[in-house]
Homo-oligomer: A and B are copies of this chain.
Amino acid sequence: MVDQAALDAVASPRRRRILRLVWEDELAAGDVAARFEDVSWPAVSQHLKVLKEAGLVIERREGRHRFYRANRSSMGPLAAMLERMWSDDLDRLAALAEEEAGIAEDTQDAAGA
């Protein structure tokens, strides 16, 4: 099922990054928050709440920790879409790296000439 809440949740780049962090295995809220330089802990907590209410992550409480993991089975076509987006990102990064390598070569060539 892909409902409005899930789509809204996934439309946010920040939440997609969070989702990717808890995609493979679960992570404590604090560990998720620690991965972001540019945003506060509460902001991350709020995003996790949105993701949870959209059914995209599952929360497990243990002591004073709360662990989150992606609820991939519930996401239907969204899961495929996200993985596709992330692999596209990697492709772009790789292309960029090659391009830069090309520029480096050119620079060398120019210096060599």
Contacts and interface: CB of A to CB of B under 8 A. Distances in A.
Interface of A: 1-2, 4, 7-8, 10-11, 13, 76-78, 80-81, 84-85, 88
The number of times this chain is found in the oligomer is: 2
B13 A11 contact: no
A2 B85 contact: yes
A47 B80 CA distance: 26
Contact of A77 (B8, B11, B77): B77
A7 B81 CA distance: 10
Q: Specify the main secondary structure of chain A where it touches its partner.
A: helix
Given A2-B85, A76-B84, A81-B81, 13 more contacts: A1-B88, A2-B81, A2-B84, A2-B88, A4-B13, A7-B10, A7-B11, A8-B11, A11-B11, A77-B77, A77-B81, A77-B84, A78-B81
16 contacts: A1-B88, A2-B81, A2-B84, A2-B85, A2-B88, A4-B13, A7-B11, A8-B11, A11-B11, A76-B81, A76-B84, A77-B80, A77-B81, A77-B84, A78-B81, A81-B81
